[in-house]
A and B are shown apart, each in its own frame.
Chain A
């Protein structure tokens, strides 16, 4: 079974600064997907960024980028130029694409507060 660990329950950052959220995972699979989801107070889980394990290049989406270290089983999220709207819970998630159900395994989350 896969496990996902987020070691930072809460973080804060000043508006316009950069913050990095940590995530580690454990799996015996070689091919898998990793995700970062954002859950604002509105509660809807929104996909921030996705990384395929067989791709060495780190994924980027505008102000969001990841540092994917496959050997270390680490998948951190960097948010550049933080905005007030980035305030939310952030969840790291794992998915094995060869499993029948493609279920997501989530970490416990990091609450990010962006301060003006």
Chain B
């Protein structure tokens, strides 16, 4: 297992276009998180999945954003009608959460840097 993989690494798009990012978590991890990091700031939580179920969404996740995790494996984050304010790095992380409530630490991917021009 090579860790959490995110593709593409960079994406430049014109305002108004749709973009989709992919995250492949560590295979045995049942939780997957998306965070957004703007330049010079710390990451902010967007949404997370427990297996294939999307359990929580931040108010940062507007209607133009949608995330999926089919079959509890990889996840995609789509942004429709992109705006310049969407320019940021989108980080994915995964972790293993057991029924008892204990968990492993987060493993982060290297992120997808989105630039909207």
A and B together in one complex: yes
Which A residues are within 8 Å of any B CB, using their own CB?
4, 6, 9, 42-47, 50, 91, 93, 97, 100-109
Which residues of the other chain, A, contact B45 by a CB distance below 8 angstroms?
Answer: 101, 103-105
Contact between A91 and B42, CB atoms less than 8 A apart: yes
**Can you report 18 A-B residue pairs in the complex whose CB atoms are below 8 A from each other?**
A42-B110, A43-B89, A43-B110, A45-B93, A47-B106, A50-B105, A91-B43, A93-B42, A100-B56, A101-B45, A102-B95, A103-B45, A103-B56, A105-B45, A107-B42, A109-B40, A109-B41, A109-B42
User: What's the minimum C-beta distance from A22 to chain B, rounded to whole angstroms?
Assistant: 14
Residues of B in contact, count (CB < 8 Å): 26
**Interfacial residues of chain B within 60-117, with CB under 8 A of chain A in the complex:** 89, 91, 93, 95, 97, 101, 103, 105-106, 108-111, 113
Q: How far is the CA of A46 from the CA of B105 in the complex (A)?
A: 11
User: What's the minimum C-beta distance from B94 to chain A, rounded to whole angstroms?
Assistant: 12
Which residues of the other chain, B, contact A102 by a CB distance below 8 angstroms?
Answer: 31, 95, 97, 103
3 closest A-B pairs (Cβ-Cβ)?
A: A106-B42, A45-B108, A103-B45
Binding site secondary structure of chain B: strand
Which residues of the other chain, A, contact B56 by a CB distance below 8 angstroms?
Answer: 100-101, 103
Residue of A43, A101, A108 near B41 (CB, 8 A) is A108
Residue of B42, B43, B95, B108 near A44 (CB, 8 A) is B108
Quick check: is B21 within 8 A (CB to CB) of the other chain? no
Contact between B91 and A103, CB atoms less than 8 A apart: no
